Amino acid sequence: MTQLLWSLLGIVSGALIAFQAPINTQLGRGLGMPIAAACISFLAGTLVLIIATAVMTRVQGTAPNFRAPAPWLFVAGGLLGAVYVTTSILLIPRLGAAALMAFLVAGQLLASMFLDRIGFLGLAVREISMGRIMGALLLLSGALMIRFT
């Protein structure tokens, strides 16, 4: 039952990303500058997460240990997220929502298979099996079919 709930949460999270791209694109159109829309999106998210961190710090009775992570980790996730959000804003009018989401998921899957294979940053090593390769090819084929048919 717990695995089902986690899986559903993943689906809901993915669905929210599908809404985020056209919302940010519309904001970019209104502002006349897509990169400004990405900036505002991150600013809004930052404000929500500052509040959530403050609440969790109070609830858990402990503050984040900002000295523990390697310095590059403080920048890497935000940098990758900025590239993701900005390119989504630029691509959605050119590809459409369905094709963009399909290509994003295909890219995520291919990169994730590689990260699993090498055990990136302590991930459990998982071999690239024939089933995984076929699943990735089917997903990539589906993304291409959504875009070009």
pTM for the model: 0.80
How confident is the chain (149 residues) per 10-residue block, as mean pLDDT? 88 90 94 95 96 96 94 94 93 92 90 93 92 90 88
Geometric angle at alpha carbon 24, from 23 and 28, rounded to 5°:
120
What integer pLDDT is reported at residue 67 of this predicted model? 94
What integer pLDDT is reported at residue 84 of this predicted model? 93
What integer pLDDT is reported at residue 28 of this predicted model? 95
Amino acid at 88: S
